[in-house]
Amino acid sequence: MRQVVVAGVGMHKCGRYPDKLATDLALEAALKALDDAGVPWKAIEAAYASHVSQGVSVGEAICEKIGLTGIPIVNVENACASGSTAIREAYYAIGNGLYDAAIVIGVEKMTRGVLGGAAEEGSLERELGLHIMPARYALKANKHMHQYGTTVEQMAKVSVKNHRNGCFNPYAHYQKEFTIEEVLSSKMICDPITLLQCCPTSDGAAAVVLCVAKVVRRFNSKPKVFVAGSALKTEKYRDESDLTARTAKAAYEMAGMLPKDIDFVELHDAFTIGEILHCESLGFCPLGEGGPMVDAGRTEIGGDLPINPSGGLQSRGHPLGMTGIAQLCEVVWQLRGQADQRQVERPRVGLTHTQGAGGVCSVHIFKR
Amino acid sequence: MQTNGFLFCPDMKRLKVKAMRESRRRPIKDNLYDLGGYQKTDFKLLGSGCTTCGEKHFPQRSICPNCSTRHLNKIFLSSYGTILTYTIVRQTSPLWKGPVPYIIAVVRLDDGVEITSHLIECNLEKVTIGLRVRVVPGKLRETDDGEEIIVHMFEIMEGGRLCAK
């Protein structure tokens, strides 16, 4: 397969924009990514647009604002992993020689309130009120606490850390620090998960331009960020192993890397317990050690494995279709050394991870 | 495999319909439960069992999600199980019409099937992982014309009355 480079990235700041259209947010992100890549619109051979509940053919509506060039446009929906899935589709298309350059745009305008998962209308799950996302994670949290002695303070520390990181990210929805006490005393959503342990409902957009490596020199001379590994998996019936662990294994194998080769991580911290669980499943510590790893400060920007230097979903926000692509934006800024106050010390390899309702997971590894 | 000749006995069926009318209670969907006479102890979950791989499922399926074959039988599932994990839902989506808070638990039934539903009538402080529960009919909500919608729920068993198994 041909080597693929992330040539340019761009984002629209996350927040609440009742007066803007989703396509307006997406347009800003797309133009920034094109400018960053130095790739003219006419050189883009395909567009992938990821969004979950924005309606029909949003990708076409975004591209119509930039210019009708007749290229194939694909709309991608895969719950919280939509953005990562779109990146993967573009990556394989370019890697296999279908196109030389493609743009991937993720956008979402979220409705306020508790997020329901992937339950059909009229399904038993939905009728019983079992499908809501904080409840799903709360069930996992209580099990982990019972099994390994993980504490609510450790979970709160994830929120504290990610909100602190978010203060240095101009694209984050929230630039505000919180204390452990504030996190724990915020409104209880589903025991033991409090409001400040849930990602906010944000609007936002992100875009990346992917190019085949041999072409990118024509456009810019920025440090090259290569796609080293890409994996997408779904739940297996009665599978003993964890979905994230299985997906990560495939990504590590493809990249020829081990967890110890990863310098920093952008992972799916929609709820604080998620960061602890995924940190274990991605192989960064043994099962049950995710909590102590947070306690030891190892996941801070200055620690030995910074997790979510962008502020993660907790602070940047989680516009569903945007998230996987925003994670890649952060990885590129970090690997190029453009992350200012939240810069991780000289990273060479970054990993992104998203996991979504319906049992889908995606892991990508990028290297300089 | 358990036989369910009982289910198809016409007299019993007529009695059940009568009981349903009188009590103005109905299950949320068809083919989920055998309601018996609406006594807690009569209530049984209807599942499916795969004749190829032996896997059991709830609710009933027409294709086995484990081996993808289509030879499934209707079976009664165990009415007893153990709490694997739980949470108290205090804020829920606008789609939820019932009261909050409510407790949901993931339970492994004694025949190995894992199901998730509400815990009923219990002291929140008493709930822990590993508790024994029994599957019972519970009221999910009332319809506008006063009909009770019944679903399977879990009831914590008191210390001395734990299931023998």
Q: Residue B17 pLDDT more than 80?
A: no
Single out the residue in B18, B49, B76 at which a domain terminates: B76
Q: Which residues are bridge partners to A360 per DSSP?
A: A234, A356
Is B165 part of any domain?
no
Radius of gyration of chain B (CA): 17
Judged by CB atoms closer than 8 Å, whether chains meet at B89 and A116 is answered as no
Single out the residue in B76, B92, B124 at which a domain terminates: B76
Q: Residue B107 pLDDT more than 70?
A: yes
Domains of chain A in start order, with CATH, are 4-112+202-227 (3.40.47.10), 134-199+229-367 (3.40.47.10)
Reduced 3-state DSSP string for chain A: CCCEEEEEEEEEEEECCCCCCHHHHHHHHHHHHHHHHCCCHHHCCEEEEECCCCCCCHHHHHHHHHCCCCCCEEEECECECHHHHHHHHHHHHHHCCCCCEEEEEEEEECCCCCCECCCCCCCHHHHCCCCEHHHHHHHHHHHHHHHHCCCHHHHHHHHHHHHHHHCCCCCCCCCCCCCHHHHHHCCEEECCEEHHHECCCCEEEEEEEEEEHHHHCCCCCCCCCEEEEEEEEECCCCCCCCHHHHHHHHHHHHHCCCHHHCCEEECCCCEHHHHHHHHHHCCCCCCCCHHHHHHCCCCCCCCCCCECCCCHHHHCCCCCCCHHHHHHHHHHHHHHCCCHHHCCCCCCEEEEEEEECCCEEEEEEEEC
Number of Cβ within 10 Å of residue B156's Cβ equals: 19
Contact list, A139 vs chain B (CB under 8 Å): 85-87, 104, 106, 116
> Does residue A138 contact residue A191 with C-beta atoms inside 8 Å?
yes
Is B38 part of any domain?
yes
Which of A126-130, B97-101, B149-153 comes out lowest in average pLDDT?
B97-101
Looking at residue A113, what is its pLDDT? 77
Any B CB within 8 A of A134 CB: yes
pLDDT band at residue B99 using 50, 70 and 90 as cut-offs: confident
* Shortest Cα distance, chain B CAs vs residue A236, angstroms: 9
Looking at residue B15, what is its pLDDT? 62
Q: Residue B8 pLDDT more than 90?
A: no
Contact list, B55 vs chain A (CB under 8 Å): 238
> Does residue B87 contact residue A190 with C-beta atoms inside 8 Å?
yes
Amino acid at A228: A
Single out the residue in B44, B76, B108 at which a domain terminates: B76
Is B139 part of any domain?
yes
Q: Is B138 found in the same domain as B93?
A: yes
- What do you get for the CA distance between the two ends of chain A, in Å? 18
* Shortest Cα distance, chain A CAs vs residue B12, angstroms: 27
CB contact set of A362 (below 8 Å; sequence gap of 6+): A78, A81, A84, A85, A88, A230, A231, A232, A233, A247, A324, A352, A353, A354, A355
Q: Residue B98 pLDDT more than 50?
A: yes
Q: Is B17 found in the same domain as B53?
A: yes
Is B48 part of any domain?
yes
Q: Record the tokens describing residue B60, joined without a space.
A: 């009933």
Our count of domains for chain B comes to 2
> Does residue A189 contact residue A83 with C-beta atoms inside 8 Å?
no
Looking at residue A114, what is its pLDDT? 76
Q: What would the pLDDT profile of A317-355 be if each residue is shown by its tens digit?
A: 999 999 999 999 999 999 999 999 999 999 999 999 999
Give the residue among A90, A109, A93, A85 at the shortest CA–CA distance from A33.
Answer: A90
Q: Record the tokens describing residue B137, joined without a space.
A: 């009919």
Looking at residue B1, what is its pLDDT? 40
Q: Is B70 found in the same domain as B138?
A: no
Reduced 3-state DSSP string for chain B: CCCCHHHHCHHHHHHHHHHHHHHCEEECCCCCEECCCCCHHHCEEEEEEECCCCCEECCCCCCCCCCCCCCEEEEECCCEEEEEEEEEECCCCCCCCCCCCEEEEEEEECCCCEEEEEECCCCHHHCCCCCEEEEEEEEEEECCCCCEEEEEEEEECCHHHCCCC
Q: What would the pLDDT profile of B126-150 be if each residue is shown by its tens digit?
A: 889 999 999 999 998 888 888 889 9
Looking at residue B163, what is its pLDDT? 36
Is B97 part of any domain?
yes
Judged by CB atoms closer than 8 Å, whether chains meet at A129 and B29 is answered as no
Looking at residue B146, what is its pLDDT? 86
Q: Record the tokens describing residue A109, joined without a space.
A: 């305008």
Q: Residue B4 pLDDT more than 60?
A: no
Q: In this predicted model, which residue has the larger pLDDT, A188 or B26?
A: A188
Is B42 part of any domain?
yes
Is B24 part of any domain?
yes
Question: Residue B47's domain spans which residues?
Answer: 5-76
Q: In this predicted model, which residue has the larger pLDDT, B122 or A125?
A: A125
Q: Is B84 found in the same domain as B72?
A: no
Q: Is B109 found in the same domain as B57?
A: no
Residues B23 and B17: their CA atoms lie apart, in Å, by 10
Looking at residue B165, what is its pLDDT? 33
> Does residue B98 contact residue B140 with C-beta atoms inside 8 Å?
yes
**Phi-psi map region of A166: left, alpha, beta (phi>0 left; psi -120 to 50 alpha):** alpha
Give the residue among A78, A27, A58 at the shortest CA–CA distance from A268.
Answer: A78
**Omega of the bond leading into A347 within 30 degrees of 0 (cis):** no
Contact list, A135 vs chain B (CB under 8 Å): 87, 89, 92, 104
Judged by CB atoms closer than 8 Å, whether chains meet at B32 and A126 is answered as no
Question: Residue B149 maps to which CATH number?
Answer: 2.40.50.840
Q: Is B86 found in the same domain as B72?
A: no
**Chain A residue with minimum CA distance to B127:** A142
Q: At what angle do helices A243-255 and A272-281 cross, to 10 degrees?
A: 50
Looking at residue B159, what is its pLDDT? 57
Is B164 part of any domain?
no
CB contact set of A121 (below 8 Å; sequence gap of 6+): none
Any B CB within 8 A of A257 CB: no
Backbone φ, ψ for residue A25 (5° rounding): -60, -45
Q: What would the pLDDT profile of A63-75 be if each residue is shown by its tens digit?
A: 999 999 999 999 9
Catalytic residue, from A318, A329, A353, A361: name it: A318
What does the mean pLDDT of chain B come to?
A: 83
Any B CB within 8 A of A251 CB: no
| The model's pTM | 0.92
Catalytic residue, from A14, A63, A80, A190: name it: A80
Residues B23 and A246: their CA atoms lie apart, in Å, by 50
Residues of chain A with pLDDT under 70: 117-118
Q: Is B88 found in the same domain as B22?
A: no
Residue A318 among the catalytic residues = yes
Interface test with B, best of A112, A127, A240 (most B CBs within 10 A): A127
Judged by CB atoms closer than 8 Å, whether chains meet at B87 and A138 is answered as yes
pLDDT band at residue B124 using 50, 70 and 90 as cut-offs: confident
Parallel, antiparallel or unpaired: strands B132-142 and B148-156: antiparallel
